[in-house]
Each structure stands twice: as C-alpha cells, then as structure tokens.
Structure 1
Amino acid sequence: MKKVTRFFWFCSGAHIDTLKKYPIEHNKYVGIGATIFFTALFAALSGGYAMYFVFSGNAFAVGFAILFGLLWGTAIFNMDRYIVSSINKEGSTNSQILQASPRILLAIMIGIVISRPLELKIFDKEIRQKLKTAYLKGQHSKIDTLQATYNQKYAQELGKNTDLKKEKDSLERDINRSRFELNQEVFGDKTNQTSGITGYGTYAKQKSQVLQEKQDRLKTVTDNLGQMDQYLSRRKEFEGVNGLRLFSEHQLDSLANVAGFADRNWALGQLSYNEKGTRDLDTYLAIAFIGYLFILFECLPVFVKLMSPKGPYDTAIAKLGEANIYFADKDKDRDMAVTNSTYDHNLDEDIIRRKKIISAQSEYDLGRHSYD
C-alpha cells in the first residue's frame, strides 16, 4: 500500500518529501492522483481504439494501436498532472477560479476528445446497423443514378427498341388473325372476310400472300429487335449497369466491419435522429450523458483541487517557493559580486543564518496552522 500511495502522490504532482510531513493531506492527494491516473488510462484506451480503426485491416494495426494509446495516455497524464499541480491555493477563491479557468476549458476539450472513441465502442452494434442501412440506401441511389444516366444517353436507341417491340406484338396478332381467316376461306366458312367457297382458290391465295408478307415483316422486325437488344446489352455492360447489384447481407456485414473512423463517427451522430429526420431524444441523451461523464471525469482533478480547503501542505509549498525565490536572488547577487570582484565572503555566513531563520519560521507557521 505504501508503494501504491507514493505512486498516486506522484500522479498528483505533489512534492512527496513535503507531503510526508502532513498525514492529514495524504488521502486527499491519493484521491487526486488516482483520478489523474485513471483519466490517463481511459485516454490511452480511447486513443488506442481510435488508432485501431485507422489502421483496420493492417497486419500491424494492434501494434500501432498499443503504441499510440501509450503515447496518448502519457501525454494526457502529463497534462493533467501539470494542470492540477500548478493551481495555487494561496490566492482568494475568485483568483483560484480565474487561474483554473483556462485549465478547465482545456480539460473539457480533452474530455470530448477521449470520450468519442469510447462512445463508438459502446454503441458499436447500433452503429453497424446504421452503416448497413446507409450503405444499402447508397447502393440504391447509385443504381438509380446510373440507370437514369443510361436511359438519357441511349434514349433514341431505347425508343427505337420500344417501337420494334410494339410492331412485333402487333404483327403477331395480325398473323394469328390472318391465319384464322385463311383457314376459314379454305374450308368455305362464310363470313364478312371470306367468300364461302371451299378450296384453295383465288381469295385463299390472296390471303395466303398477305399472311406471307406479314410473316416476312415479322422476321425482319424480330431480327432487328434481336440486334438492338444485343447492342443495348453491350452498352449496359460498358456503362456498368449490368454489373451493379444491391449488396447482400454478407457484403453489408463485411462493409460495416471495415468501416473507417469517419464513417463510424457519422453513424454515431445519425443515431440521434429517427427515420423521419427528427431528433430521437432518448438516444441523444444516452450519447450526450456518456460524453458529459468523461468531461466531468477529466475536470474532476481540477474541481477537487479547487474545492479542497487550503491545508498545511499548501502553506508549506508556498513557504518553500518563497524561500527558493529568495535564495535564488541571493545567489544571483553573489555571482554578480564575484564577477565584479566585490564579493564579501562574510555574506555566506549571513545567508546560512537567514536560511536557518526562514526554515525555523516556516516550521513554526506550519505547526500553528495544523494546530488551528
């Protein structure tokens, strides 16, 4: 437990040697450090998951995801650690809030960035279904557009083909009717169209000749129609109309599996809307609350530091900072004096004496603060 405690102290950015002197502050900085650590852990998982989809299908996708996740988590950890440790508790509440405002805005941005990939994973099933629907609609639209372009480009040939089909149908009906009338003429059936004389006479020969002319025309039209159909079929193949088909269920699953980060992010945004195009409040709130949770989690270390009262550790750090500044100035003056050959070696004893006085005064003030 001591190692875990020291590790979380390190995560909080605290000065460990100073923090050890004040047990009342130990738990607070363990909590701050743990929050920073787990925020960085979630950031690493989020960044690794996002990078995995960027290189999805690559043999090194897992390796890239792990490497980027570690780098991203380390960067977020270092940033959060700096944000929390740089908040000065010596000022008033308003000054602390003003000081923390840029850090809170930065924490909100980080929370939004690390929450999105995790939202993609949480709603993975719904995103896949939305992608499959979108891909199917897109294929429908592509087929319709290609077919409309083909119809417009070959409108004259298609019109001629339609006329040939109509003529063929009309000729087939006329031939059937003419053949029936010829049979009536041969067998002597008396009608408005036949003479009523049995045998293959003059009228029968005329009707047979008309029938033959229609059959010859039908053969010509059928040949022309066949040639036109072959031409249009070749044109369809050339334009890609014949090769374009709707996706099967297996193809849609494969497309959803290899969808990139941008497509999945778009699908996640579309989950908030129903088929009518209006906002689906339940889904929208579910997605939004997950994002708000990560934003709050990212801002939590800053809020904890702001809400916690000033303790003896904060006073000790302030005194230590003042002492360091004082002695840094003295060292600077001494270096300048040595350079100018006016240095008085008695100043060393004075500095040592002042260090002891400041150290004793700091210990006294901190002890009195702890007692109060």
Structure 2
Amino acid sequence: MKNLNQFFWFCSGVHINTLKDYPTEQNKYVGIGATIFFTALFASLSGGYAMYFVFSGDAAAVFFAILFGIIWGLAIFNMDRYIVSSISKNGTVNKQILQATPRILLAFMIGIVISRPLELKIFNKEIREKLKLSYLNGQRSKIDTLNNTFTYKYGLELKKIKDLVTERDSLTTDINRSRYLLNQEIFGDKTNQTSGQVGYGTYAKQKEEVLAQKVNRLGVVNNDITAMEGFIRQRRDLDGITSERMFSGKQLDSLANVAGFADRNWALGQLSFKADGSRELGTFLAISFIGLLFILFECLPVFVKLMSDKGPYDVALKNTEESSIHGSFKNKDYHIAVIDNVQETKIEAETERQKREIINSSKSAVYEE
C-alpha cells in the first residue's frame, strides 16, 4: 500500500517529500492521483479501440492499436497531471477559478474524445444494424439513380420498344381473330362478316391474304423488338446497370464488419433519431449520459482540487517555493559579489602594473643622464 500510495501521489503531481510531513493531506492526493490514473487508463483503451478500427483488416491492426493506446494514454496522463498540479491553492478563489477555467474546458474536450470510441463499442450491435440499413438504402438509391439516368439517356429507344410491343400485342390479337373468321368462312358459318358459303372461295382467299400480311408484319415487329432489346441490354452492360444487385444479408454483414471509424461514428449519431427525423429520446439520453459521465470523470480531479480547502501541504509548498526563490536570489547576489571582487582585483592589479612601469621608466631616464 505504501508503494501504491506513492504511485498515486506521483500521478497527482504533488511534491512527495513535502507531502510526507502532512498525513492528513495524503489521502486527498491519493484520490486525485487515482482519478488521473484511471482517466488515462480509459483514454488508453478508447484510443486503442479507435485505432483498431482505423487499421481494421490489417495484420498489424492489434500492434498499432496497442502502441497508439499506450501513447494516447500517456499523453492524457501527462496533460491531466499538469492541469491538476498547476492549480495553486494559495491564491484567491477568483484567481483559482480563473486558473481552472481553461483547464476545465480542456478537460471537457478530452472527455468527449475519450468517450466517443467507448460509446461506439457499447452500442456496437445497434450501430451494425443502422449501417446495414444505410448500405441497403444506399444501394437501392444507386440502382434507382442508374435506372433513371439510363431511361433519360435512351428515352427514344425505350419508347420505340414500348410502341413496338404495343403493336405486337395488337397484331397478335388481330391475327387470332382473323384466323377465327377464316375458319368460319371456310366452314360456311353465316355471320355479319362471312358469306355463309362452304368451301375455299373468293371471300376465304381474301381473308387469308389479309391474315398473311398481318403475320408478315408481326414477324417484322418481332425482329425489330429483338434488335432493340439487344441494343438496350448491351447498353445496360456497358453502363454497369446489369451488374448492380441488391446486397444480400451476408454481404451486409461483411460491409458492417469492415466499416470505418467515420461510418460508425455517423451511425452512432443517427441512433438518436427515428425514421421520420424526430428525436429518439431514450437512445439520445443514453448516449448523452455516457458522454457526460466521461466528461465529469475527466473534470473530476480539477473539481476536487478546487473544492478542497487550503491545507497545511499547500502552505508548506508555498514556503518551499519561496525559500527556493530567496535561495536563488542569494546565490545570484553571491555570484555578483564574487564577479565584482574579481573585477576590482583585476583593476587594482592593472593599476599597480602601470605604477611600476612609470617608476621603471623614471629610473631608466635617471640612469641615462
């Protein structure tokens, strides 16, 4: 427990040697340090999970996820540790709030970043269903768009096929009727369209000639329809319409498995809305509360530091800092005094040397005289 306490003290960013002298303060900083540590742990898991989806399908996906998770967790740990340790309890309340405001905003942003990948994991099943529906609707929309574009592009050819089919149906009906009338004429059935004479007479020959013309025309129409349909089928193949199919259940599962982080994040946002665009209150609150929980967890060390009273450790830390500052000034004054003494010694030595040179010059002049 002693080693564990010291580890959490390190996480909280306190001056351990000073804190050891104040047992009443130790548990508070154990709690702050533990909060910072577990926030970094959640950040590591969250970052690793996000990176796993970035490299999903790659053989090294697990390696990159672990590596990035460790780096991301250490970065968040260092940032949180700095945020908490930099808030001084020796200032006024307004000053402390002013110091904490940008740190709370930063903690808020970190909480959002940490919570999002974990929310993706929690709502993984619902996200997969939303992605499947989205892919299915997207494929249907794509096929509809291709068909509409093709219809607009080859509208004249399609209209001609439609007219030929209509003519073919009309000819087929007319040919069947003409054959019936021909049989009535040959067998002598008296109607308003037959003569009532039995045998293959003049009227029967006329009806047979008309029937032959209609049959020939039907053959021409069928050939035209076959040629036009072959042309349209070839155009559909070239435009890629024929190869497009609606996704099967197996294909949708595969697409959902390889969905990227952006698609999954979009699907998570769509879970808060119904099909008609109205808000799905239950899902929205669930996602929001999970995000707020991590945001609160991230801001908690800062709030604890702000809410805690000024203790003996804070006073001792202030005294230690002031002693260090005064000691630094004393050392600085000492170094300045030493430099001044050295400079004065140099000046005195230089003056003495100049005096000796003057005396020697005077002696030399006397000796020459």
**Superposition TM-score, scaled by structure 1 size:** 0.90
What residue number does 1:281 align with?
Answer: 281
What residue number does 2:37 align with?
Answer: 37
Contact 1:90 1:315 (C-alpha < 8 Å) held by counterparts: yes
Matched, 1:322 2:322: yes
What residue number does 1:152 align with?
Answer: 152
Please state how far the C-alpha of 1:98 moved relative to its aligned partner.
1.4
Q: Alignment partner of 1:91: what SS?
A: coil
One-letter amino acid matched to 1:265: N
Q: Distance in 2 between matches of 1:131 and 1:263?
A: 8
Q: Distance in 2 between matches of 1:338 and 1:136?
A: 84
Q: Alignment partner of 1:165: what SS?
A: helix
1:274/1:219 Cα in 2 relative to 1: closer, same or farther (>3 Å)?
same
Matched, 1:163 2:163: yes
Q: Distance in 1 between matches of 2:80 and 2:343?
A: 44
Q: Distance in 2 between matches of 1:187 and 1:339?
A: 144
Contact 1:35 1:301 (C-alpha < 8 Å) held by counterparts: yes
Matched, 1:72 2:66: no
Q: Distance in 1 between matches of 2:269 and 2:177?
A: 66
What residue number does 1:235 align with?
Answer: 235
Matched, 1:61 2:61: yes
What residue number does 2:117 align with?
Answer: 117
Please state how far the C-alpha of 1:339 moved relative to its aligned partner.
2.7
Q: Distance in 1 between matches of 2:102 and 2:341?
A: 47
State the identity %: 67
What residue number does 1:82 align with?
Answer: 82
Deviations 1:156-213 (A, max 9, x none): 0000000110111011111101111111111111111111111111111111111111
What residue number does 1:12 align with?
Answer: 12
What residue number does 1:303 align with?
Answer: 303
Deviations 1:332-357 (A, max 9, x none): 2222232333599xxxxxxxxxxxxx
Give the superposed CA RMSD: 1.3
Please state how far the C-alpha of 1:109 moved relative to its aligned partner.
0.9
Contact 1:84 1:301 (C-alpha < 8 Å) held by counterparts: yes
What residue number does 1:198 align with?
Answer: 198
Q: Distance in 2 between matches of 1:273 and 1:333?
A: 70
Unaligned runs of 5+ residues in structure 2 are: 345-369
Q: Distance in 2 between matches of 1:239 and 1:301?
A: 61
What residue number does 1:364 align with?
Answer: none
Q: Alignment partner of 1:341: what SS?
A: helix
Contact 1:47 1:69 (C-alpha < 8 Å) held by counterparts: yes
What residue number does 1:339 align with?
Answer: 339
Q: Distance in 1 between matches of 2:100 and 2:342?
A: 45
Deviations 1:261-301 (A, max 9, x none): 11111111111111110111111111111111101000101
Q: Distance in 2 between matches of 1:214 and 1:72?
A: 82
Q: Distance in 1 between matches of 2:20 and 2:343?
A: 39
What residue number does 1:350 align with?
Answer: none
Q: Distance in 1 between matches of 2:205 and 2:341?
A: 143
Matched, 1:91 2:91: yes
Q: Distance in 2 between matches of 1:179 and 1:274?
A: 62
Please state how far the C-alpha of 1:234 moved relative to its aligned partner.
0.8
Matched, 1:187 2:191: no
Please state how far the C-alpha of 1:144 moved relative to its aligned partner.
0.8
**Superposition TM-score, scaled by structure 2 size:** 0.91
One-letter amino acid matched to 1:80: D
Q: Distance in 2 between matches of 1:169 and 1:55?
A: 59
One-letter amino acid matched to 1:218: L
Matched, 1:130 2:118: no
What residue number does 1:260 align with?
Answer: 260
One-letter amino acid matched to 1:288: S
What residue number does 2:219 align with?
Answer: 219
Please state how far the C-alpha of 1:137 moved relative to its aligned partner.
1.0
1:342/1:309 Cα in 2 relative to 1: closer, same or farther (>3 Å)?
farther
1:55/1:152 Cα in 2 relative to 1: closer, same or farther (>3 Å)?
same
